[in-house]
Each structure stands twice: as structure tokens, then as C-alpha cells.
Chains A and B, each alone.
Chain A
């Protein structure tokens, strides 16, 4: 029994350490995001403001301008990362991430259609994005269903759909007025600027419903990773569990994309980075990596670019995420681990 306990203790202490370090890093970035800017707030003033005791100027800057943006970064990072990690684990393929298989792309097409053709803005665009993601995900699911879902077929169908989605986006953009197209492009890159509390509230409620669903379904996910036969032999209703998990993952990706646009690469890299830190599928570290990625990238995009340039956050995640993934693939230790 002692070897068992020892083996388990090693893994748990590693997981705990990683979680604490990631949480610490998120707190540091959060404090920086709230304090630093054209008008900087000192740490004591920041804490006072957050406690409701700041002056009105600090209150406006921190609570009205910076905190909603930071909160949205946290929610979007969490939702993207969980969606990606769930997809990758369910389909047993690191390429099976909602941003590569056209699901966030579907959201983009619907949103860009709403902006350019229907002239909508705000929540209506988010609603279109959400529906677009669901439609694409259902299409992939139906097209790849052959008495069950095989990961590689799902990914191949998804990549095909992603190209169709790109074509549709290109068509919409080339047909549009240049200024309208500019607005649509910013949405397509993924941006957190000008986030309002009302938008944060909608995202927070959605994530607040979906995260408990992930917690409830996580034990079934762990069983599905053993293969369909083993999972069935252990008493898992395989097809039902997989559909529910996919639905939750799609909803998470859809909520995140609808809220902030398809921020590149977060869903794709959060899981692999977390797996590097803690072996096995670890949803909590994945979510924290996603939060850290988006909040850090947003801070960089606002304050750390040469010449004071500000760009949408999606440019930064793409610029950091892609090389990091290549490095992961080049240095991975064994097959199937990416």
C-alpha cells in the first residue's frame, strides 16, 4: 500500500505545485494589468480601489475600464483552454482543437456575416457567433459519424470544414466596404479592447454554467481515454458521455469566441503546455495556462510593444503560440505526447 500512496503523493504534489505557481503568475499579471497604463495606479491605491475605498478617478480607471477587460481575458482564456483540452482528450489528437477544425472559424463567419451583411453590432454579433460555432460542430459530428466517432476522421472532416469557412470569410470580406471590413477584421483577430461589464456578465454566467458541467463529466472523460472498449467494459455509456462532453466543449469554445472573437492558438496550446507541466490530462492546469496566456498576451499587446503600438490580443497569442508549439513538437519526449 505504501508504494501506491507514495506514487500518488508524488503526482499530487507536482500538480499542486504547478497549480500554485500558475495561480501566482496569473495574480501578478492581473495586478499589473489593473495598475499599469497611460495612468498608473500604485499597488496600495489599487488594493484600496478594489476594496471599494479608492478615489473616484482610480475607481473609474480600474473598475470601469481595466477590470472588465481583465475579467473577460480570464473568462475567455479559461473557456478556450478547457474547450481545447476537452477536444484533444476526447478525440485523442492534439490537432483536434476547436480553432484548427473550423469551430471558432464557423463562429467568425457568422459574426462577420452579422457585421457586414446585416449591419449588426454588440450582443447580436455574439449571438450569431455562438450559433455559427454550434452549426459547424454539429456538421462535423454528423459527417464524421460512422457507427461511432473516430478522432482522426473528426479532425480530417474538421480541417476540410475549416477551409470552407476560410473561403466564406474571404468572400464576405472582399465584397464588403473597406471600413466595415476593417471592423470585421478586428473582430476576427480577437480583441478585448472596450469590454463592458454587461458583456462580462453574459460570459461569466455562461462559463459559470459550463464549468460545473465539465467537473461532473470529467470522470467519464478519464475513462473514455482508455479506449471505447475498455471504457464500456468499466460501465461507461460511451456514446452518450462523448456527445455530452463534446457539447460542453463546443459551448465553451462558442461562448469564448462570441465574447472576444477567435483568439488564436489558446485552445490549441493550453492543453499541451499543461501536459508538459503535469503528466496526464490535467484540466485545471490547462485552464490556468489559458488564463495566463490570454491575460499576459493582452498586457503585452497594450503596453509592451515597441513604439507604444497597440494591437488586438489575438495577434500576440498567435505570435507566441505558434513558435511555442513548434518547439514543443521538436522536443517532445515520446510519441503521442504533444
Chain B
């Protein structure tokens, strides 16, 4: 990975049924790093990700990749730059892991260039990276939640995007599998230089894995930057309406939010 691709939103407003969910937002995703978007429920974080992934047309403003409006790209060309793993992907009944992962190659295939050596190499590499090679012949619906999520990430890897967007990739996973998935994404970022942008629920995991953190509340950005600058008692209060203590994560020193709650007191 030598060149890095930029993803920016300018004056972006996104609306459902005429009501603005996010309003005139400017976002700049640092190339080659891991950006995590956090915030309370219904703060617009998933909507922002959908907007960045061209799943929604902006009401106002635009999203740009390398300075060019994403809605002006030919769809396959953009898919080679920006990949997406939605929150609830659908696996067709009976599909095998190998077949599902192979579908990630779609944007690289034309009428006559299908099933090429490059396709096979990318699929094999994606399976290997996600430790799903031995599952290749299994039906996706037979797999456990953690295995299934690894398979979906393998599909996104087979796409070989420069920028990968993920909407809550750790939801419904136990803590072991959450860490496994985040480690995998970090490895991908370090090894290939893929820019990773994801929405996460767990603030502490977000602070640990993010190079760049975006904290949202009510459709606006409350704070953004390096986790140890952004995660403060004040930010947590503003974004989550929660009293907390922020300490250093004993494992890696990143900020760690310890909530207080009604029935407990500090000290």
C-alpha cells in the first residue's frame, strides 16, 4: 500500500422521510488509520456511516473519495475503493462460505474476467486472514455467530477495498469474539494499510483500537481526535448523559471509562 485514499464529508445532511438525522457535518477520515464512531443510541452514527458508504443520498452536501463526489463514481470503481459491511448482512439459504466470500470479488469482475487467478488468490488470502479456510465448504447458516462474522469480514477483504466501513461489526458477539474481530481489523490495517472506519458500541474497546475517535450526539460531532484527547469525563457526560471516571487502561494505557450510576459512589 503506497498511495492513501481520502474520505471526507462536506456540509453533509442526511435525512429519513424528510427529517434530518445529521445536519451539516464536516468529517475527514485520516487515511491509513482506524477511525471509530461512537455515541449514544439514535445519535446518528450509523446514519453517518451509511452516508459515507453511499447507501444514502445526501439531502445537502457531499461525500468525497479523493476529492470526487462518491455519487459521481461508476459503481464498481467506487466499490474497489470503498467496501462496506452492514450491520445485518443477509446470507442466501444454502450458500457455502467459499461461495459467499467469492461474491466479494464482484467489483473486480467484468463480462469475461471472472474466476481469474487474481480472484482465487484474493479469496484464498481473505479466508486465510480470517482463519476461515477450513470452513470453506460449510454452509454459512450452520456456523456460530463469531465464525459467521469472520466469514462476512472475509467477503469484505476479498473485495480488497482501500477503505473499509463496518457498522457495529461486534454486535451479538461475546467478548472473546469481539476482541478477535477487532484484532483482525487492526491486523488488516497494519498489514495492508487499509483505512478502517467503524461504528462501535463499547467505548473502551473503541478507545483501545481507534487511532481516531469521533464522538457523536444528536446528529452532531461532540469531539474528534486521538482517544486520549477525546475521552474525558466532560465528553462522556455530553455524549451519553453519564457520570463516569476515566482511568488508564491497565493493558495499553488508552483511556477507559468507568461509569458511576445511581447506586454507587466514587471512593
Q: In this assembly, does B214 line the interface, its C-beta being within 8 Å of a C-beta of chain A?
A: no
The answer to whether A275 touches B94 (Cβ under 8 A) is yes
Give the distance in Å from the alpha carbon of A11 to the alpha carbon of B98 in the complex.
Answer: 10
Contact residues of A between 217 and 259, Cβ < 8 Å to B: 219, 222-223, 225-227, 229-230, 232-237
| Of listed A11, A92, A226, residue having the most chain B CB within 10 A | A226
Taking A3-B137, A229-B84, A235-B75 as contacts, is the C-beta distance between A334 and B106 under 8 angstroms? no
Q: In this assembly, does B3 line the interface, its C-beta being within 8 Å of a C-beta of chain A?
A: no
The answer to whether A4 touches B79 (Cβ under 8 A) is no
Chain A contact patch, size range = 20 to 34
Which residues from chain A contact B83 at a C-beta distance below 8 Å? 233-234
Q: In this assembly, does A279 line the interface, its C-beta being within 8 Å of a C-beta of chain B?
A: yes
Which 5 A-B residue pairings sit nearest by Cβ, starting from the closest? A235-B79, A233-B84, A7-B137, A279-B94, A227-B90
Give the distance in Å from the alpha carbon of A4 to the alpha carbon of B55 in the complex.
Answer: 31
Chain B contact patch, size range = 35 or more
Which residues from chain A contact B136 at a C-beta distance below 8 Å? 3-4, 6-7
Q: In this assembly, does A336 line the interface, its C-beta being within 8 Å of a C-beta of chain B?
A: yes
The answer to whether B86 touches A227 (Cβ under 8 A) is yes
Contact residues of B between 198 and 227, Cβ < 8 Å to A: none
Q: What are 11 sample pairs from A and B whose C-beta atoms fall under 8 A apart?
A: A223-B106, A226-B91, A226-B92, A227-B86, A227-B89, A229-B55, A235-B79, A275-B93, A280-B92, A336-B93, A337-B94
The answer to whether A234 touches B95 (Cβ under 8 A) is no
Q: In this assembly, does B127 line the interface, its C-beta being within 8 Å of a C-beta of chain A?
A: yes
The closest CB in chain B to the CB of A280 belongs to B94
The answer to whether B92 touches A235 (Cβ under 8 A) is no
Which residues from chain B contact A330 at a C-beta distance below 8 Å? none
The answer to whether B86 touches A230 (Cβ under 8 A) is yes
Q: In this assembly, does B231 line the interface, its C-beta being within 8 Å of a C-beta of chain A?
A: no
| Of listed A4, A223, A235, A275, residue having the most chain B CB within 10 A | A235
Q: In this assembly, does B96 line the interface, its C-beta being within 8 Å of a C-beta of chain A?
A: yes
Q: In this assembly, does B264 line the interface, its C-beta being within 8 Å of a C-beta of chain A?
A: no
Taking A7-B137, A8-B98, A10-B137 as contacts, is the C-beta distance between A232 and B55 under 8 angstroms? yes
The answer to whether B90 touches A226 (Cβ under 8 A) is yes
The answer to whether B96 touches A7 (Cβ under 8 A) is yes
Q: In this assembly, does A1 line the interface, its C-beta being within 8 Å of a C-beta of chain B?
A: yes
Give the distance in Å from the alpha carbon of A209 to the alpha carbon of B134 in the complex.
Answer: 42
Q: How near does chain A come to B91, taking the closest CB pair, in angstroms?
A: 7
Q: How near does chain B come to A293, taking the closest CB pair, in angstroms?
A: 21
Q: In this assembly, does A195 line the interface, its C-beta being within 8 Å of a C-beta of chain B?
A: no
Q: How near does chain B come to A196, taking the closest CB pair, in angstroms?
A: 38
Contact residues of A between 310 and 324, Cβ < 8 Å to B: none
Q: In this assembly, does B133 line the interface, its C-beta being within 8 Å of a C-beta of chain A?
A: yes
Q: Which of B55, B90, B95, B109 contacts A233 (CB 8 A)?
A: B55
Q: In this assembly, does A126 line the interface, its C-beta being within 8 Å of a C-beta of chain B?
A: no
Which residues from chain A contact B97 at a C-beta distance below 8 Å? 7
Q: In this assembly, does A281 line the interface, its C-beta being within 8 Å of a C-beta of chain B?
A: yes
The answer to whether B137 touches A281 (Cβ under 8 A) is no
Give the distance in Å from the alpha carbon of A336 to the alpha carbon of B54 in the complex.
Answer: 29
Q: How near does chain A come to B17, taking the closest CB pair, in angstroms?
A: 9
Interface 0/1 of A298-338, CB less than 8 Å to B:
00000000000000000000000000000000000010110
Interface 0/1 of B6-26, CB less than 8 Å to A:
000000000000000000000
Give the distance in Å from the alpha carbon of A223 to the alpha carbon of B159 in the complex.
Answer: 13
| Of listed A234, A334, A336, A337, residue having the most chain B CB within 10 A | A234
Which residues from chain A contact B54 at a C-beta distance below 8 Å? 232
Q: Which of B53, B95, B127, B165 contacts A4 (CB 8 A)?
A: B127
The answer to whether A235 touches B78 (Cβ under 8 A) is yes
Give the distance in Å from the alpha carbon of A10 to the alpha carbon of B79 in the complex.
Answer: 30
What 12 new A-B contacts, CB under 8 Å, besides A219-B106, A235-B77?
A4-B133, A11-B137, A223-B106, A229-B55, A229-B89, A232-B55, A234-B103, A235-B75, A235-B79, A236-B75, A279-B95, A334-B93
Q: In this assembly, does B99 line the interface, its C-beta being within 8 Å of a C-beta of chain A?
A: yes
Taking A3-B134, A7-B98 as contacts, is the C-beta distance between A279 and B79 under 8 angstroms? no
